[in-house]
């Protein structure tokens, strides 16, 4: 398949790269046959079923039972923060609403709800949730609210697995104020340090500080278990601390350099959790490949209009030593050799739940969450966003083929819009992944797949069209949510503010 070879493929593939923004809007394609033809025209190998099955006949309804884990269907609610906690990290009514909607989705695997910081200064924004004594009852309430709604929607909570995603935001820590980043970094990155304005002598997290953070993860995991969560996710994705360890090739000491050192953080967290919270299951969400940070092409950007994304210059940075899952000689290509080794390590550590994602929303959003419309700090898509979907499907498929015993969750399906159910069904039916993880679509239309499974009419007006407001709003210090399609946000004061900010940008 062009653009998606079985081993590695490039972001510059001539069939898929856009020189102009001329790709087709999926909302304009009404029939699945048209969509399949469109995939074929792009030469993308994205399995897509022509006919949707319902009820127990659908692969999305298949129960999964492996390694003592029981999940009653193949739908996963991906973690999504809302930037709507209190200043000290407790959930608010808006947070509860989001978790209730996760429950209404009918997904039987709730992958963490949202990223919860294991300590106050590890928050990615001043409204992120924190796992601490004073937030214990709030976190318990979130789980309970989800459970109640899930029972109402699905009739029973049998085979429901609820996790809590634990994180430290590392390089993207911004705990106190939206305009006051407080990065905690593991190594100096030649591009990202410049973007964050970090001088060459900006201090690195010391090994002793890392050990304290490991202790925080273990304490938070114990709290999660005591509250009733079935598992915790040790977040290793999207440029945050866990992910940065995996690319800490240039770091000295115990936590950088060799593969063994770069995975020491994970191993020590797992070891600590097994002591502090025996019996608690552990999962890992990991960005299995990265790429060079992208920026809007200056030659094609105008005032108020972002140009198409291009990779920052990397010719002088070879061999490239600041990425995970990238080809060191051409870091715009993925190389899954180390990620496969990482997955083998997970299996050795008896970690069975693995959620495959990619890249980072901060420096390559088109890789992480393919979208038709860019977020305010992004760029116009450098390729048809379907290529981004196909790339994540391909990576998950390759890793699942290598490590068939792991329970592998795929990501980044929301861009598929009306055809998400067809692709999700085919992916599970063909065993490319064990379950499909749904992100943005849950914000706009939580019960989309439940409607499909139960044979109800699809409400096309609620299908996520990847407007990216749920990413733009937080970049402007506003809570995240589906502003265009969810009435709750559409009518809010924050929506008025977001419209004002966006209009100003156009006038600039």
Cα gap 89→83, rounded to integer Å: 10
Q: Which residues between 293 and 352 bind ligand FMN (CB under 6 A)?
A: none
Interface with ligand SF4 by CB under 6 A: which range of 205-213, 327-335, 466-474, 497-505?
A: 466-474
Q: Which of residues 383-442 bind ligand SF4 (CB under 6 A)?
A: 440
* φ, ψ dihedrals at 90, nearest 5°: -95, 155
**Which does residue 342 bind out of ligand FMN, ligand SF4, none, counting CB within 5 to 8 angstroms by kind?**
none
Residue 455 CB, nearest approach to ligand SF4 (Å): 24
Q: Which stretch binds ligand SF4 (CB under 6 A): 164-172, 188-196, 242-250, 461-469?
A: 461-469
Q: Give least dist CB 440 to ligand FMN, A.
A: 3
465 binds, among ligand SF4, ligand FMN, none (CB under 5 to 8 A by kind): ligand SF4
| CA nearest to 236, candidates 195, 273, 286, 309 | 286
Q: Which of 210, 470, 478, 495 binds ligand SF4 (CB under 6 A)?
A: 470
Under the binding rule (CB under 6 A), the answer on residue 482 touching ligand SF4 is yes
Nearest approach, Cβ of residue 67 and ligand SF4 (Å): 33
What burial letters (b/e) apply to 360-375, b meaning 16+ CB within 10 Å? bbbbbbbbbbbbbbbb
Question: Looking only at residues 464 through 493 of this chain, which bind ligand FMN when binding is defined by CB under 6 A?
Answer: 470-471, 480
Q: Which residues of 322-347 are buried (b: 16+ CB within 10 A; e: fewer)?
A: bbbbbbeebbbbbbbebbbebbebbe
> What is the DSSP track for 243-270?
HHHHT-TT--STTSSSHHHHTHHHHHHH
Among residues 78 and 332, whose Cβ is nearest to ligand FMN?
Answer: 78
Element (H, E) at 232: strand 231-234
Selected from 115, 266, 356, 387, the binder of ligand FMN by CB under 6 A is 115
Options 73, 368, 417, 444; binder of ligand SF4; rule CB under 6 A: 444
Who's near 223: CB < 8 A, 6+ residues apart? 131, 136, 139
Number of neighbours of residue 282 by Cβ within 10 angstroms: 23
Backbone angles phi, psi at 219, to 5 degrees: -65, -45
Nearer to ligand SF4, 218 or 443 (CB): 443
What's the Cα-to-Cα distance from 377 to each of 295, 332, 390, 492, 502, rounded to whole Å?
9, 21, 24, 23, 12
CA gap 377, 293 in Å, rounded? 13
Interacting residues of 199 by C-beta distance below 8 A, sequence separation 6+: none
Task: Note whether 363 binds ligand SF4 by CB under 6 A.
Answer: no
Q: Among residues 439, 472, 478, 498, which is the contact residue for ligand FMN, using CB under 6 A?
A: 439
> Which of 137-145, 242-250, 265-273, 481-489 is the region at the interface with ligand SF4 (rule: CB under 6 A)?
481-489
Q: In this complex, which beta carbon is closest to ligand FMN, that of residue 14 or of residue 93?
A: 93
In the range 399-428, which residues lie near ligand FMN by CB under 6 A? 411-415
Angle, vertex CA 480, rays to CA 475 and CA 485, nearest 5 = 120
468 near ligand SF4 (CB under 6 A): yes
Binding at 78: pick from ligand FMN, ligand SF4, none (beta carbon under 5-8 Å per type): ligand FMN
* Residue in 32, 39, 48, 80 binding ligand FMN, rule: CB under 6 A: 80
Q: Which of 386, 464, 478, 494 touches ligand SF4 (CB under 6 A)?
A: 464
What does the per-residue mask of binding to ligand FMN show for 199-238, with x meaning CB under 6 A?
A: --------------------------------------x-
Count of residues near ligand SF4 by CB under 6 A: 14
For ligand FMN, the closer of residues 249 and 444 by Cβ is 444
Nearer to ligand SF4, 353 or 371 (CB): 371
Nearer to ligand FMN, 185 or 420 (CB): 420
From candidates 16, 95, 104, 165, binder to ligand FMN by CB under 6 A? 165
Near ligand SF4 in 298-357, by CB under 6 A: none
* Region from 20-28, 183-191, 402-410, 476-484 binding ligand SF4, contact rule CB under 6 A: 476-484
Q: Report which of 374, 255, 362 is spatially closest to residue 305, judged by C-alpha positions.
A: 374
Of 328, 326, 323, 336, the residue nearest 401 (C-alpha): 336
SS3 209: helix
The answer to whether the peptide bond before residue 319 is cis (omega within 30 degrees of 0) is: yes
| All residues at 6 or more sequence positions from 281 whose CB lies less than 8 Å from its CB, including other chains | 69, 163, 230, 231, 232, 352, 353
Contact residue for ligand SF4 among 443, 478, 494, 498 (CB under 6 A):
443
Using CB under 6 A, which residues numbered 349 to 378 contact ligand FMN? 357, 369
In the complex with ligand SF4, the residue whose CB is nearer, 108 or 465, is: 465
With contact defined as beta carbons under 8 Å apart, do 364 and 291 qualify?
yes
Bridge pairing between strands 161-167 and 231-234: parallel
The span from the CA of 247 to the CA of 270, in Å, is 19
What are the angstrom distances between the C-alpha of 97 and each of 92, 103, 490, 491? 9, 10, 15, 16
> Residue 202 to residues 171, 183, 304: CA-CA distances in angstroms?
12, 10, 33
Residue 78 in the binding site for ligand FMN (CB under 6 A): yes
Interface residue list for ligand FMN (CB under 6 A):
78-81, 114-115, 165, 237, 285, 357, 369, 411-415, 438-441, 470-471, 480
- Report the interface residues with ligand SF4, using CB under 6 A: 440, 443-444, 464-470, 482-485
């Amino acid at each position: 398949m062009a653009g998606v070879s079985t081993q590695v493929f490039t972001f510059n593939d001539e069939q898929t790269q856009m020189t102009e923004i001329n790709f087709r809007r999926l909302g304009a394609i009404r029939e699945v046959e048209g969509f399949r033809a469109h995939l074929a025209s792009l030469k993308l190998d994205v399995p897509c079923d022509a006919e949707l099955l319902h009820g127990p006949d659908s692969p999305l309804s298949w129960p999964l039972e492996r390694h003592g884990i029981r999940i009653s269907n193949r739908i996963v609610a991906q973690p999504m923060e809302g930037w709507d906690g209190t200043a000290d990290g407790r959930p608010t009514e808006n947070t509860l609403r989001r978790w209730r909607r996760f429950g209404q989705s009918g997904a039987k695997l709730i992958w963490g709800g949202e990223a919860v910081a294991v300590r106050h200064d590890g928050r990615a924004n001043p409204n992120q949730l924190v796992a601490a004594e004073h937030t214990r009852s709030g976190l318990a309430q979130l789980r309970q609210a989800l459970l109640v709604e899930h029972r109402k929607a699905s009739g029973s909570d049998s085979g429901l697995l609820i996790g809590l995603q634990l994180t430290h935001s590392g390089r993207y820590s911004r705990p106190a104020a939206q305009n006051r980043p407080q990065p905690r970094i593991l190594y100096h990155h030649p591009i990202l340090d410049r973007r964050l304005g970090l001088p060459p002598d900006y201090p690195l997290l010391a090994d002793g500080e890392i050990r304290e953070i490991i202790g925080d993860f273990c304490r938070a995991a114990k709290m999660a278990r005591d509250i009733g969560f079935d598992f915790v996710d040790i977040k290793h994705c999207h440029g945050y601390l866990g992910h940065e360890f995996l690319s800490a090739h240039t770091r000295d000491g115990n936590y950088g350099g060799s593969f063994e050192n770069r995975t020491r953080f994970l191993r020590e967290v797992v070891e600590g959790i097994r002591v502090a919270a025996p019996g608690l299951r552990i999962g890992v969400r990991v960005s299995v490949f990265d790429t060079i940070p992208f920026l809007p092409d200056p030659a094609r950007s105008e005032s108020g209009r972002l140009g198409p994304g291009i990779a920052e210059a990397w010719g002088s940075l070879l061999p490239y030593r600041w990425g995970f899952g990238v080809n060191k000689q051409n870091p715009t290509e993925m190389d899954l050799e180390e990620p496969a080794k990482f997955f083998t390590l997970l299996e050795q550590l008896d970690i069975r739940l693995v959620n495959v994602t990619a890249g980072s929303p901060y420096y390559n959003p088109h890789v992480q969450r393919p979208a038709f419309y860019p977020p305010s700090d992004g760029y116009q898509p450098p390729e048809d966003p379907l290529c981004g979907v196909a790339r994540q499907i391909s990576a998950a498929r390759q890793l699942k083929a290598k490590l068939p015993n792991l329970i592998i969750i795929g990501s980044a399906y929301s861009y598929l819009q009306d055809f998400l159910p067809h692709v999700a069904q085919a992916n599970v039916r063909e065993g490319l992944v064990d379950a499909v993880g749904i992100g943005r679509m849950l914000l706009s239309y939580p019960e989309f797949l439940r409607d499909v499974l139960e044979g109800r009419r699809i409400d096309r007006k609620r299908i996520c069209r990847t407007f990216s407001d749920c990413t733009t709003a937080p970049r402007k210090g506003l809570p995240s949510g589906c502003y265009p399609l969810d009435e709750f946000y559409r009518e809010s004061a924050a929506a008025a503010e977001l419209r004002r900010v966006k209009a100003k940008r156009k006038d600039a």
